[in-house]
Chains A and B, each alone.
Chain A
Amino acid sequence: MTDNNQQPSGALTKATRSPGFWVLAWRRFRRRKLSMLALAVVMCLSGIAVFSPMIAGTKPIVCKYKGNLYFPCLAYFNADWENPIFHKDRFRKRYPRNLREKDPESWAIYPLVFQDPYRPVRDGEWQDKNGDGEWVDRPGNPYHGGLPSKLNFFGTYKRGVDVFASMVHGTRIALLVGFVSTGIAAFIGITLGAIAGYMGGAIDMVISRIIELVMCIPGIVLILALIAVIDKINIWIMMAILGLTSWTGMARLTRAEFLKLKQSEFVAAAQSIGAGPLRIMFRHILPNALAPVMVPIVFGIAAAIKVEAGLSLLGFGAPPPNPSWGTVLNAGTSNYTEWWQIVFPGIAIFITILAYNLIGEGVQEATDPRLADPKD
């Protein structure tokens, strides 16, 4: 109570803080229906990617076995996360029957769709209760020509692997490739661009030449070369290479922004109070230079997804048996009668890239001050 009284009454009402640049940009972005829809699509895909082992798989999400709780589905993220007890008890990666036979007390919650992205489901792996309450074997995936059916929503490919399960798990690769490779590219591009732009002189000269040098390396060719020499190629190496070859555009944009901004008054002010160059570059200039760089980042994600699908289509993508959209598409090209191997992954790739491009366009317009609504 006393505290209240001590407040100076009738003091100046605090002026409402005027919205910052990013808040304004977000407001403008929100008004674009298509971009928001695209954002929703990407969020939804991210959800699918994160929860893919719970959507489609043959390993229980959670199970109780011999008194302990296990989460075998995590093995889809990393094969080493599968508890060794299932190896010791000779489960042989087949859960439903083994759980029931080896521990009648056990229970398990399975993914929504009992299909595996890596292998065909065989006859009798899963059992359904029929009308009389008896367990009957569910038939395995057809060997070939597996049309879309109620067990295989999107049909099968590669001698009976479920296309739906592959695509759900493939979402992880598609999104990861986009984020990780663009993340690497953005980090390198922005750092080098900032240093070149701010420092100028000889450093700028060297970095600019490096940029030109890297621009001469065709990313796909480099990837194909590395696939030939690296023994255990995995998707992370591919992402790194994609990232390491695609940062040049961002570096150039950042450099240009820094060249412009380092002449401005607020930089002079910061310098005058003795701020170091790192602080000035990343605390003061960078937030103001980020808007034009955001656009190539978003488009870069779309491009990376496209490159991955293209590599998989050529047969050099995610190493087998990792499911990726491009791999399914690749299987479809050798057999034109099996349309579902082309249509479904084709649609997925199309929608994802379209969504990222729409977001990119939205970011571009939302951050462009010339397009700003005077009402804001």
Chain B
Amino acid sequence: MKTFTHRSTFRLALLVAALGCLTITGCREAAEDAAFREFEEEFGSGGTTANTSTDGGDTSDTALNTITDEPVDFEFADLVKPFDPPPLEEIISLNEWADKPVLDAVELMRERQAGEQQLATPAEALALKNSSVANNNKIISAMGRLAQEGEVNYSAEWNRHTAGDIKSTNPLMISSTAEFDVAGLTNMGLFGFDWNFVPFASTDVVVSWQTSANGLYDKVVMRDDLRWSDGTVITAHDVAYSYQVIMTSSVPIPAVRSGTDQLKYVHAYDDHTVIFFHNESLATNVWNINFPVIPKHIYENTVPEDPTMAKSEAHVALDENPITGGAYQITKRVRGQEIVLKRRESYYIVDGKVVRRKPNFETIRFHIVENSSTALLALKKGDIEEMQLSPEQWQSQTSGEEFYKNNTKSYALEWVYYYFGWNNRSPFFRDVRVRQAMSYAFNHQELLDRHRFGLDEAAQGIFHKTSRWAPTTLPAPYTQDLDKAEDLLAAAGWEDSDNDGVLDNIVELDSDFDGKIDGKRRMRFEFTILVSNKQERIDICTLLQENLDQIGIRCNVKPVEFTTLQQLSRDHQFDAIFAGWGTGADPDTSENLWTTKAIDAGRNYGCYSSKIVDQLFEDGKRELDPEKRAAIYQKIHLQLWDDQPYTWLYFRNAYYGFNRSLRGYNYSARGPYNYGPGESTIFKPAGMR
């Protein structure tokens, strides 16, 4: 995800953002806080890129506006350093090559399930209420079974829910959850990763994938039976061209450039052979080569005229009717209402022969419903057939007959953690003892029991214990201890010296959060925590407020609209913030949350800076041995835990409601979609309504 580089004075931008959000909220009055749900917790990046995900999916808003409003000089692929690719024979003969996996994700899942015991039949599972862990396991096991021969009803339609509309259908422009969901079905890419986040090339697209022994080249041979939806052959030139478009600075790419920009060059030697050149041998190279592909024969004419890829007549028409390479194509789009995808026959039938697996649905219809209460009613009625549930809905609104009549529900762990982030440039939270005191002051047990209904797990740092990057013995989670919190605060100099019931201390000021100290002053411990304007989140912040009030700290809770929250956090203009991060497929993706260089160029909103952590991330990138690499990230985990730049709160499970007619859904640590095979194994059995 891009930081917002064309920053004029930030205050102006802030005001613009604030006014911008106003117009939005203004017209959505009736829809309550619906608009914000769109950006709920989710991902800044999904299936195709490997970035760490973000609390709110969408940063393109301001970034796009800022960039496009400035006059741009178009220079194609200006971010690529001049490079003359050597002849193919030379590269092949001078290097040793190792084969990398080319896999069929569906078969991979089939193999996994062959080794698992099926705990119940679908009929038994549908008779169950999901009221216990045992029942949840049975439902997941039974409903996740893949289709047997002849079981799939290929003429079925799947009505999906999405909380927000997509801004663009161009796969290079993806940044919000909804866009990733749609792109996952319509877009074609060379690579994927499984539920363990192990990367592979897909047999649907790739014949072979090899990496040179020195780690500087990746050679991919593509299949020759790939077709765009307009019938043109998909070639290696499309891949090389897409790389160059991504690397054109005047094209406002919100998310997919990060990672791709680590490549040295991408060159197509013929229609099917493409070589990815790397600057150095990194563990993250396998993720950097994974980017979406767009048709060269279409865009090579339109991009020079309109580098924004959104404004010209041709681009508007393309956005309406995109030429896609994936299994589905967009046939209808009603803004704010629905997006209709149809199975593309030319995807799996080429020259009259079936060359790929037939996609399971004839039609996939995304219903855009912003308000989650409305969406739940639609799910109960059967108008939509899947949706993510809030814990409150899971707990109290989906246990009755009216829900189970058409649906069932299941949940699984998702690596999305929530936290209170303390700004290290704030006069209050520069001292590690204060940050630890915050973690001791908060009533974690009540959070889990009362606010998370006892369903979510406490977060013990940046990696979940089931991740191979987490330390083998995790530090014990913080529990509330107000005495200890007060002792730590006293040690850091915070006491009530003026007898007003509120702690105070002489602190160094940095009023514009730029890292420069402007002076010293005695200050009351009174700060503001920012939170996006959603009741369940505000409630968690008010619990913090109550706990801190008990030990003489005033905490103001300030709910703000999502874009404003993004803007303020990017500019480090806050004392504290409540938010969450999803997981990237590779641990290196959290580099842009924790390293010093990410303060200005990444998403290190809280300005955490540690030489040790900076160095460890550098080492982790270069260490190719999986064991040693894991050890590095375990150290990072522990170092961050010691420094408590965040008070880690909980991992939010993925709670989903599915229509009874759906089968074949399985969860990864990123939820049921956006991994391999993800949504592609979901089907409706033949013989059902």
A320 contacts chain B at the CB level, 8 A cutoff: yes
| Contact (Cβ within 8 A) B22 A221 | yes
Interchain CA distance A224-B27 in the complex, whole Å: 12
Instruction: Find out whether the CB atom of A158 lies under 8 angstroms from the CB atom of B539.
Output: yes
A86 within 8 A of B: yes
The interface-forming segment of B220-228, B556-564, B661-669 is B556-564
Choose from A229, A320, A333, A334 the contact partner of B15 (Cβ within 8 Å): A229
A333 to B29 alpha-carbon distance, docked (Å): 13
Chain B positions 1 through 31: 1 when the CB is less than 8 Å from some CB of chain A, otherwise 0: 0000000000000110111011001100100
Say yes or no: B528 contacts A231, CB within 8 Å: yes
How would residues 122 to 145 of chain A score, 1 for a CB under 8 Å from any chain B CB and 0 otherwise?
A: 000000000000000000000111
A159:B450 contact, CB within 8 angstroms: yes
Chain B residues contacting A120 (CB-CB under 8 Å) are: 450
| 23 residue pairs bridging A and B, Cβ less than 8 Å apart | A84-B501, A87-B496, A88-B496, A92-B551, A143-B453, A144-B450, A145-B396, A158-B535, A221-B26, A224-B25, A228-B18, A228-B561, A228-B564, A231-B558, A232-B556, A314-B33, A315-B33, A315-B533, A316-B533, A316-B559, A319-B558, A334-B372, A335-B396
Q: Nearest Cβ in chain A — how far from B482, in angstroms?
A: 6
Contact B535 A334 (CB under 8 A): yes
- CB-contact partner of A118 in B14, B499, B542, under 8 A: B542
CB distance from A157 to the nearest CB of B (A): 9
> How many angstroms between the C-alpha atoms of A82 and B502 in the bound complex?
10
**A92 to B, closest residue via Cβ:** B550
Question: Considering the complex of A and B, which 6 residue pairs feature the smallest CB-CB distances, nearest first?
Answer: A228-B18, A92-B550, A84-B501, A87-B501, A321-B542, A320-B557
B32 at the interface (CB under 8 A from A): yes
Most B CB contacts (10 A, CB to CB) among A86, A94, A233 go to A233
CB of A331 closer than 8 Å to a CB of B: yes
A residues in contact with B372, CB < 8 Å: 334
Give chain A residues whose Cβ lies under 8 Å from the Cβ of B556: 232, 319
Given the complex of chains A and B, what is the CA–CA distance between A334 and B539 in angstroms? Answer: 14
- A2 close to B (CB within 8 Å): no
Within 8 A of B (CB), among A307-333: 313-316, 319-321, 330-331, 333
Which residues on A sit within 8 Å (CB–CB) of B538? 320
Residues of chain B contacted by A143 (CB below 8 angstroms): 449-450, 453
Of A79, A88, A316, the contact of B554 (CB 8 Å cutoff): A79
Are B550 and A93 touching (Cβ within 8 A)?
A: yes
Interface residues of A (CB under 8 A from B): 79-80, 82-84, 86-88, 90, 92-94, 118-120, 143-145, 158-160, 220-221, 224-225, 227-229, 231-233, 313-316, 319-321, 330-331, 333-337
CB-CB under 8 A from B373, the residues of chain A are 333-336
A320 touches B559 (CB 8 A): yes
- Give complex CA distance A83, B501 in Å: 7
- Bound state CA distance, A313 and B557, in angstroms? 17
Cα A233 to Cα B533 with chains together (Å): 14
Within 8 A of A (CB), among B463-490: 482-483, 486
Check if A159 sits within 8 Å of B33, measured CB to CB: no
Residues from chain A with a CB closer than 8 A to the CB of B17 are 228
Tell yes or no: B552 within 8 A of A by CB. Answer: yes
Q: A144, A220, A229: which contacts B14 (Cβ < 8 A)? A: A229
Q: Given contacts A225-B18, A225-B22, A232-B556, are A333 and B32 in contact (CB under 8 A)?
A: yes
Which residues of the other chain, B, contact A93 by a CB distance below 8 angstroms?
546, 549-550
Q: Is B615 an interface residue (CB 8 A)?
A: no
Among candidates A92, A333, A335, residue contacting B482 with C-beta atoms closer than 8 Å: A92
In chain B between 372 and 386, which residues have their CB closer than 8 angstroms to a CB of chain A?
A: 372-373
User: CB distance A335 to B392 under 8 Å?
Assistant: yes
A216 to chain B, nearest CB (A): 15
Contact of B610 with A by CB under 8 A: no
In this complex, what residue of B is CB-closest to A119? B546
Residues on the B chain within 8 Å of A227, using CB: 560
- How far, in angstroms, from A316 to B35 measured CA to CA in the complex? 14
Interchain CB contact under 8 A, B396 and A86: no
Rounded to whole Å, the gap between the CB of A160 and the closest CB of chain B is 7
* Residue B331 interfacial (CB < 8 Å): no
B397 within 8 A of A: yes
A224 to B29, CA, bound (A): 12
Known A92-B482, A159-B451; judge A118-B546 contact (CB<8 A). Answer: yes
Enumerate B532-587 residues with CB–CB distance to A below 8 Å. Answer: 533-535, 538-539, 541-543, 545-546, 549-552, 554, 556-561, 564
- Tell whether, in the assembled complex, residue A119 and residue B33 are in contact, meaning their CB atoms are under 8 Å apart: no
The 8 Å CB contact of B32, one of A80, A224, A314, is A314
B73 at the interface (CB under 8 A from A): no
CB of B339 to closest CB in A, whole Å: 26
Main secondary structure of the interface of B (DSSP, over half): helix
Q: Determine the distance from Cα of A175 to Cα of B373 in the docked complex, in whole angstroms.
A: 32
In the complex, which residue of chain A has the Cβ closest to the Cβ of B483?
A90
Find chain B residues with CB under 8 A from A333 CB.
Answer: 32, 373
A87: which B residues are within 8 A, CB to CB?
A: 496, 501-502, 552
Closest chain A residue to B574 by CB distance?
Answer: A231
Nearest residue, chain B, Cβ from A79: B554
In whole Å, how far is B555's beta carbon from the nearest beta carbon of chain A? 10
CA distance A335 to B535 in the complex (A): 11
Indicate whether B351 reaches chain A with its CB closer than 8 angstroms: no
Instruction: Indicate the member of A231, A330, A335 with the most B CB atoms within 10 Å.
Output: A231
When distances are taken between beta carbons in the complex, the residues of chain B under 8 Å from A82 are 501
Q: Of A228, A320, A335, which is within 8 A of B397 by CB?
A: A335
A80 touches B500 (CB 8 A): yes
B395 on the A face (CB < 8 A)? yes
Residues of A near B535 (CB, < 8 A) are 158, 315, 330-331, 334
B528 pairs with A119, CB closer than 8 A: no
Cα-based distance from A79 to B546 in the complex (angstroms): 12
Q: How far is the CB of A338 from chain B (nearest CB, A)?
A: 9
Q: Which residues of B contact A79 (CB under 8 A)?
A: 549, 554
Closest to A80 in B: B500
CA distance A229 to B557 in the complex (A): 14
Residues of B contacting A225 in the complex (Cβ-Cβ under 8 angstroms) = 15, 18-19, 22
**Extra contacts besides A82-B501, A228-B22, A335-B396 (5): CB < 8 Å:** A80-B500, A84-B499, A87-B496, A119-B546, A224-B25
Interface residues of B in 15-61 (CB under 8 A from A): 15, 17-19, 21-22, 25-26, 29, 32-33
**Measured between alpha carbons, how far is A101 from B18 in the docked complex, in Å?**
51
Residues of B within 8 A of A159 (CB): 450-451, 539
Q: With a CB–CB cut-off of 8 A, which chain B residues contact A232?
A: 528, 556, 558
Q: Which residues from chain B contact A334 at a C-beta distance below 8 Å?
A: 32, 372-373, 392, 535
B10 to A: closest C-beta gap in Å: 12
- The answer on a CB contact under 8 Å between A224 and B22 is yes
A144 closest partner in B (C-beta) = B396
Q: Closest chain A residue to B552 by CB distance?
A: A87
Q: Which residues does chain A contribute within 8 Å of B29, judged by CB atoms? A: 314
Which residue of A79, A221, A227, A232 has the most chain B CB atoms within 10 A of its CB atom? A227
Q: Which residue of B lies closest to A229 (CB)?
A: B18
Contacts of B557 in A (CB 8 A): 319-321
Complex CA gap A84/B450 in Å reads 30
Q: Report the minimal beta-carbon distance from A169 to chain B, rounded to whole angstroms.
A: 14
Q: Are B396 and A337 in contact (CB under 8 A)?
A: yes
**A336: nearest residue on chain B (CB-CB)?**
B373
Q: How far is the CA of A160 from the CA of B549 in the complex (A)?
A: 18
B501 near A86 (CB under 8 angstroms)? yes
CB-CB under 8 A from A86, the residues of chain B are 501
CB-based nearest B residue for A94: B550
Instruction: Kindly list chain B residues whose C-beta atoms are within 8 Å of the C-beta of A119.
Output: 542-543, 546
The answer to whether B558 and A160 touch across the interface, beta carbons within 8 angstroms, is no
Residue of A nearest to B36 (CB): A315
State the CA gap A93–B545 with chains docked (Å): 12
A257 to B256, CA, bound (A): 66
CB closest chain-A residue, reference B498: A84
> How many Å lie between the Cα of A159 and that of B19 in the bound state?
33
B541 cross-chain contacts in A, Cβ below 8 A: 320
Smallest CB separation, A58 vs chain B (Å): 11
CA distance A344 to B76 in the complex (A): 63
